[in-house]
Structure formats: C-alpha cells, structure tokens
Amino acid sequence: MTADLHVKQAGEGPAVVLLHGLFGSGSNLGAVARALQVTYTVYSVDLPNHGRSGWLQAPELPAMADTVQRWMGGAGLARAHFVGHSLGGKVAMELALRAPRRVASLTVADIAPVAYSSRHDAIFAALEAVAASPCTSRGEALARMGEYLSEDSVVQFLLSSLQRDGQGEYQWRFDVAGLKASLPSLLAAPAVGRVYTGAVLFVKGGASDYLQKQYWSAIQSFFPAATMKIMPGCGHWLHAEKPQLFNAIVSRFLASVEQAGVDGADGMNREG
C-alpha cells in the first residue's frame, strides 16, 4: 500500500530530494532548498502521513521509504541526492540500503542508523489533547498543549502543522494516531545485512545527543564511505539554528560528489 506525496519542485540541475523530520513538512527545509535550487533541481517532499501528502495505513519506516521510491519512479527520477533530517534521515537511509542505485549520495542530519528510545510521550499527549475535541482557535490549541509542553520552540513548530477545516475547526495535518502506532518502527535500527557504498555525510549538532560517537561503528557497518561534520553550538534543529553553515556544508558535499571528488575516507571534522 502506498500514498500520494505532496512535493514542491524548484530549480534546475541534478536532482536533490529533501526529507523532513517527524511532525514536520517539506517547508521545514526551506532554507536549504532555496540555497540548493540555484544549482540543483530540488524536491521538497512531505513524507507520508505528514503535511499535504496522503496517509499510509501503517506509516512504518520501510513503507515510507517504499513510498518515496515509488514517487521517484512516477516522477521519472532514476537517481537523486538525498538530504534528510531526523526521521527524514532515517527514511533516506532505509531507501539507500534497499535501493542503492536510486541514491546518488546521502546527507543525514543529526540521526544515526540505530534504535532510539521514545522522547515523544509528552508531544503525543499534547497532540491528542488538541485532537480529542474541536478547537475553534489557535489560542485554544495552544492552551491545551501548554498542559504537556513547556518549550515554546517545540509548541510553535507543532502549531505550524495546525490547519483550519471547512467548519472553522482546527486539526493536525499529520496523522497523530498512525504515527503513534508506528513509532516503534520509526525509531528502530535498519535491518542488518545491507550496505550502501556511495558517498554519505552525517552532520551532527554539536550540542545534540542524537548522533553520538558510539554510533560510529553502526554507521560504518551500513555506510562504509561515511564521513561526519560537527556543527558546534547547535542542537537537533541544526539546519534552523545555523542555516548558513548547514547550507554551506551540504552544498560543498554535493559539489564534491558531482565532481567525483569524494575519497571515502572516514573522519570527524569540526566546522566553525
């Protein structure tokens, strides 16, 4: 079973597909899309069960990757560079491992091919509080979420996916129930026994604990040509916290791949 994807296309040149994180939409990577579309054809994808895309009955990681691969076929994209943040990075990694010929390179922002424990209990409680009964204003939704979440940045990020329906009531664009049911799959490590040997760049937020040194052996087992850049002073939302630096790192990596200049050496370098 698959779902139709909402995709925004801009620019001309080699194809680059951008995949956002959990509870987001393609617009979350708008800054990097604008930076890259000068040189590349950029496809900003709303993942299944997010944004304006269709919903899978079970939005698990393999199904999401398969949906993106099927969209590529329908769009006539034989191959593309992928840039994925968080959940989008996990989807991109899964796609690279299952269909390596479709992936020209892989940029993974602040996530690793390992199993994660859930950090989303309070978020789902807040989302369910809004979804439990109709909200007639954003203020009402904000008040309900405030009972569970104290970080304003998280609340504002989630509210960007709140939409008003034809009856004037507010509801989430993403599939709260489906994503909660599928969360174990979304947090799981990739199935072993598969390798993507192409160019891969992991970009870590220096202040984030999502991408840790002890994960490097797992990264190498799946992606033997992987390298890493660390962005000091950034948390998990590194592309939003230091967009110019993030965009420069991604642009340089893609240019090196296009020029066939990647040497495949492992390493962890700091970007200032």
Residue 265 in this model has a pLDDT that exceeds 90: no
Mean pLDDT along residues 248-267: 74
Whether residue 57 is predicted with pLDDT greater than 90 in this model: the reply is: yes
pLDDT at 268 over 90: no
The pLDDT of residue 262 is above 70:
no
pLDDT tens digits for range 61-77: 999 999 999 999 999 99
Whether residue 86 lies in the annotated active site: yes
Cα distances (angstroms) measured from residue 176 to each of 20, 262, 270: 16, 40, 37
Q: What is the pLDDT of residues 14-48, one digit of tens each?
A: 999 999 999 999 999 999 999 999 999 999 999 99
Question: Pick the residue with more confidence: 234 or 268?
Answer: 234
- The residue with greater pLDDT, 268 or 58, is 58
Q: Of the ranges 30-44, 48-62, 156-170, which one carries the lowest mean pLDDT score?
A: 156-170
**pLDDT recorded at residue 260:** 67
Question: Is residue 117 flagged as an active site residue?
Answer: no
Instruction: Give the pLDDT confidence score for residue 249 in this predicted structure.
Output: 98
pLDDT tens-digit profile of 110-155? 999 999 999 999 999 999 999 999 899 999 999 999 999 999 989 9
What is the CATH class of 7-115+189-270? Answer: alpha beta
CB-based burial, 100-132: b 16+ in 10 Å, e otherwise: eebbbbbbbbbbbbbeeeeebeebbebbebbbe
Render 235-262 in DSSP notation, one character per residue.
Answer: -TTHHHHSHHHHHHHHHHHHHHHHTT--
Nearby residues of 55 by Cβ (< 8 Å), 6 or more positions away: 3, 48, 49, 175, 178
Phi, psi of 84, rounded to the nearest 5 degrees: -130, 135
- Provide the sign of the torsion angle of the four alpha carbons 264, 31, 59, 179, taken in this order: positive
Taking residues 79-89, what's their average pLDDT?
98
Q: So what's the pLDDT on residue 182?
A: 97
Q: How many CB atoms lie within 10 A of CB 1?
A: 8
Q: Which position among 53, 86, 105, 161 bears the catalytic label?
A: 86
Global pTM reads 0.93
Q: Band the pLDDT of 269: cuts 50, 70, 90.
A: very low
Share of the chain above pLDDT 70, in %: 94
Residue with token string 């129930």: 177
Higher pLDDT, 39 or 1: 39
Per-domain boundaries in the chain: 7-115+189-270, 121-183
Pick from 90, 50, 42, 237: which is nearest to 151 by CA?
Answer: 237
Catalytic residue among 50, 81, 85, 236: 236
pLDDT of residue 270: 42
pLDDT of residue 1: 57
Whole-number average pLDDT of the chain: 93
Give the pLDDT confidence score for residue 229 in this predicted structure: 97
Percent of the chain with pLDDT over 90: 89
